[in-house]
Amino acid sequence: NRQILLAKRPAGMPTEENFSFVETAVPKLQAGQLLVNTLYLSVDPYMRGRMNDRKTYVPPYALNEMITGGVVGQVEESLAEGFVPGDIVLGNFGWALYNVAAAASVKKVNPDLAPISTALGVLGMPGLTAYYGLLDIGQPKEGETVVVSGAAGAVGMLVGQIAKIKGARAVGIAGSDEKINYLVEELGFDAAVNYKKGDLRQQLKEACPSGVDIYFDNVGGTVSDAVLSLINKGTRIPLCGRISLYNLEQADIGPRIQTQLLINSALMQGFIVSNYAEQAEEGLNQMAQWLKEGKINYTETITEGFDNIPKAFLGLFCGENTGKQLIKIADP
């Protein structure tokens, strides 16, 4: 078996030196366990937080232990009732070619519903994040303007499309002209702006002639400063992520525009997708329905090969992915 461990805690932006590869034997299965062959593995921005020696809403990764995250795999051996070799499962597993997992900790994936990789994206954790963050906290209404940062990523691309389904205007912020074009041309966003080019506030002002009613914030920092300067009375701000700040060695003090929140009676509310664990099935069913009806589209950036996992992870912080970043290890 091949595994990836956390070799060293990063200071600032991580590098490949923070990871190490080891060869190990596959342990013998016990009753109730499955041997799962990794097919697709997810890298996610929250993993950066777990590399620090600081508890957030999940404990940090331990040094010289396997990194863990979302995996779609195939059961190779089963000592658990209800699972047979060939079953496709989703679990929180180690970065390894093979994992031994308690059957109770995995979820079966229905390969007839959608491509199995979507269990890590549109029909998985990022899908639920977009769905509940926007609908429960954002509560978009017809004709309102929804701005989303990190718009061409796994969560952001779905936020804009759900906003459209609810009759709102969707405006995306992303880091390249290709991404901007993708959002408008392929996903039906009403407008999108490139935060790396020109005056972001001015661009947003033009893209949001009636101001901002909902800001779904994936990035924080100066991008969010620009959006917050344009909010309307009663704006709702689902605080989903802070990717522009995850690699800072000195904590950021923002938001710097609290006065805007005050004078507009705006609501900014942080959330963690696991808050919605009990409603997850309902959200996933709705997303699957929209996918089937062609109301939601998605894209994946698929990196091939186990040894490229760290590189794909680091790419998240340089905008190398469009849509959900996955690593493909094997075919079913």
- DSSP 3-state assignment of 147? strand
- Measured from the CB of residue 173, what is the shortest distance to ligand NDP in angstroms? 7
Q: CB-wise, 122 or 329, nearer to ligand NDP?
A: 122
Q: CB-wise, 207 or 316, nearer to ligand NDP?
A: 316
Question: Counting contacts by CB under 6 A, is residue 228 touching ligand NDP?
Answer: no
User: What letter does residue 110 receive in the DSSP assignment?
Assistant: -
Question: Counting contacts by CB under 6 A, is residue 283 touching ligand NDP?
Answer: no
CB 129 within 8 A of CB 217: no
Question: Counting contacts by CB under 6 A, is residue 276 touching ligand NDP?
Answer: no
Question: Counting contacts by CB under 6 A, is residue 152 touching ligand NDP?
Answer: yes
Instruction: Spell out, one character per residue from 203 to 222, where the chain touches ligand NDP: x when CB under 6 A holds, - when not.
Output: ---------------xx---
Q: CB-wise, 93 or 98, nearer to ligand NDP?
A: 93
How many whole angstroms separate alpha carbon 37 and alpha carbon 266? 47
φ, ψ for residue 127 (rounded to 5)? Answer: -60, -45
236 strand-pairing partners: 214, 267
Query: In the block, which residue shows the tokens 């061409």?
Result: 152
Structure tokens at 99: 């994992």
Structure tokens at 214: 């909902």
Query: In the block, which residue shows the tokens 């995306």?
Result: 172
Q: Which stretch binds ligand NDP (CB under 6 A): 22-30, 78-86, 146-154, 292-300?
A: 146-154
Question: Counting contacts by CB under 6 A, is residue 184 touching ligand NDP?
Answer: no
Q: CB-wise, 286 or 301, nearer to ligand NDP?
A: 301
How many whole angstroms separate alpha carbon 192 and alpha carbon 50? 31
Question: Counting contacts by CB under 6 A, is residue 284 touching ligand NDP?
Answer: no
- Measured from the CB of residue 66, what is the shortest distance to ligand NDP in angstroms? 21
Q: CB-wise, 85 or 198, nearer to ligand NDP?
A: 198
Q: CB-wise, 164 or 179, nearer to ligand NDP?
A: 179
Q: Which stretch binds ligand NDP (CB under 6 A): 93-101, 136-144, 260-268, 311-319?
A: 311-319
Strands (E), 95-174: 98-102, 107-108, 145-149, 169-174
Question: Counting contacts by CB under 6 A, is residue 3 touching ligand NDP?
Answer: no
Question: Counting contacts by CB under 6 A, is residue 302 touching ligand NDP?
Answer: no
Number of residues that bind ligand NDP (CB under 6 A): 31
Q: Residue 184: how many CB atoms within 10 A of its CB? A: 17
Give the list of residues 6+ apart from residue 112 with CB closer than 8 angstroms, or none.
none
Q: Which amino acid is at 26?
A: V
Query: Would you tell me the crossing angle of helices 200-207 and 221-228 to the nearest 10 degrees?
Result: 40
Question: Counting contacts by CB under 6 A, is residue 172 touching ligand NDP?
Answer: no
- Measured from the CB of residue 316, what is the shortest distance to ligand NDP in angstroms? 4
Question: Counting contacts by CB under 6 A, is residue 91 touching ligand NDP?
Answer: no
Question: Counting contacts by CB under 6 A, is residue 312 touching ligand NDP?
Answer: no
Helices (H), the chain: 46-50, 125-132, 156-165, 177-181, 200-207, 221-228, 258-263, 280-292, 309-315
- Measured from the CB of residue 277, what is the shortest distance to ligand NDP in angstroms? 11
H helices, E strands: number in the chain: 9, 15
Contacting positions for ligand NDP (CB under 6 A): 44-46, 126, 129, 150, 152-156, 174-176, 179, 218-219, 223, 240-244, 271-273, 316-317, 319, 321, 325
